């Protein structure tokens, strides 16, 4: 397709940027592929024996919405934008293992078809945005849900917000380490910059995720498995 030079002007439109080719050294990229492979394998192993029937359509819908939402860059301070990662949201909706499959599919399609994220960086893009966010986000959500114990109110949405914010920070932290180890930018330079920007982007992630979870809990509470402490009397579910 390269020979057809359609003059596409400098893109004013969505340019969500995952780690592109060239940012990670070959060894670091290799480690990323290995880590992603391990967690995707665990996710497949877990889901191919225990995937619930209603999870299938929900997985497809979640993937489609996260793909679309990642295109919607929202402005944060100083001529910078951010976009949803969606790992926490996916984990809450379909559970952590199915969520890793959802996120890997989204990030894979973005890298292979939309040139968003380099091929060499695909492993760490999956690990940063589709494994760390999912597992940590789910863990914090789980605690918040136990704390809320099935009650409607501010506890659960607040927990979801905090979970989402922390996962964005962790993904930014991991990316900084990977860039530093690759020799792309020294850690003392890249880390504070990444954490600063993503502290703001994380607020967007938290608000969107909390709103989305609240929306689903309001309209289709049956779709979200809410962990609860032992029911006081009789079963709650």
The residues in 30-49 that bind other proteins, with binding defined as CB under 8 A, are 44, 47-49
For residue 36, the tally of other CB atoms under 10 A from its CB is: 23
How far apart, in whole angstroms, are the C-alpha atoms of residue 45 and residue 237? 27
Stretch of 133-141, 146-154, 156-164, 192-200 contacting other proteins, by CB under 8 A: 192-200
- 139 or 158: whose CB is closer to other proteins? 139
Beta bridge mates, 75? 81
Structure tokens at 205: 């992630």
Determine if 208 is a binding residue for other proteins (CB under 8 A): no
Binding other proteins (rule: CB under 8 A), the pick from 27, 34, 42, 75 is 75
Instruction: List the alpha helices (DSSP H) in 72-186.
Output: 87-94, 96-113, 122-126, 133-148, 155-181
- 138 or 161: whose CB is closer to other proteins? 138
- 99 or 148: whose CB is closer to other proteins? 99
| Interacting residues with other proteins between 103 and 162 (CB under 8 A) | 105-106, 109-110, 112-116, 118-119
Selection from 150, 140, 138, 147 nearest residue 235 by Cα: 150
Stretch of 89-97, 134-142, 143-151, 158-166 contacting other proteins, by CB under 8 A: 89-97
How far apart, in whole angstroms, are the C-alpha atoms of residue 112 and residue 230? 45
Please report how close the Cβ of residue 50 comes to other proteins at its closest, in angstroms.
4
How far apart, in whole angstroms, are the C-alpha atoms of residue 150 and residue 131? 27
How far apart, in whole angstroms, are the C-alpha atoms of residue 76 and residue 81? 5
Determine if 97 is a binding residue for other proteins (CB under 8 A): yes
Stretch of 32-40, 58-66, 136-144, 148-156 contacting other proteins, by CB under 8 A: 58-66
Determine if 62 is a binding residue for other proteins (CB under 8 A): yes
């Amino acid at each position: 397709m390269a020979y057809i030079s359609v003059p596409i002007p400098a893109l004013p439109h969505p340019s969500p940027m995952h780690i592109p080719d060239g940012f990670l050294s070959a060894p670091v990229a290799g480690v990323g592929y290995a880590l992603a492979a391990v967690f995707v394998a665990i996710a497949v192993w877990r889901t191919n024996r225990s995937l619930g029937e209603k999870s299938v359509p929900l997985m497809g819908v979640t993937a489609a919405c996260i793909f679309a939402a990642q295109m919607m860059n929202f402005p944060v301070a100083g001529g910078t934008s951010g976009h949803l990662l969606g790992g926490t949201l996916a984990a809450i909706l379909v559970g952590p293992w199915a969520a890793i499959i959802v996120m890997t599919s989204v990030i894979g399609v973005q890298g292979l078809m939309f040139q968003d994220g380099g091929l060499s960086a695909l492993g760490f893009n999956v690990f940063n945005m589709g494994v760390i966010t999912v597992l940590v986000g789910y863990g914090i959500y789980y605690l918040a849900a136990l704390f809320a114990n099935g009650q409607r109110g501010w506890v659960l949405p607040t927990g979801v917000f905090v979970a989402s914010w922390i996962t964005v920070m962790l993904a930014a932290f991991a990316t900084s380490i990977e860039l530093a180890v690759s020799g792309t930018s020294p850690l003392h330079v890249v880390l504070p910059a990444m954490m600063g920007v993503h502290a703001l982007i994380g607020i967007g992630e938290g608000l969107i995720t909390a709103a989305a979870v609240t929306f689903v809990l309001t309209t289709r509470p049956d779709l979200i498995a809410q962990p609860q402490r032992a029911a006081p009397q009789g079963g709650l579910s």
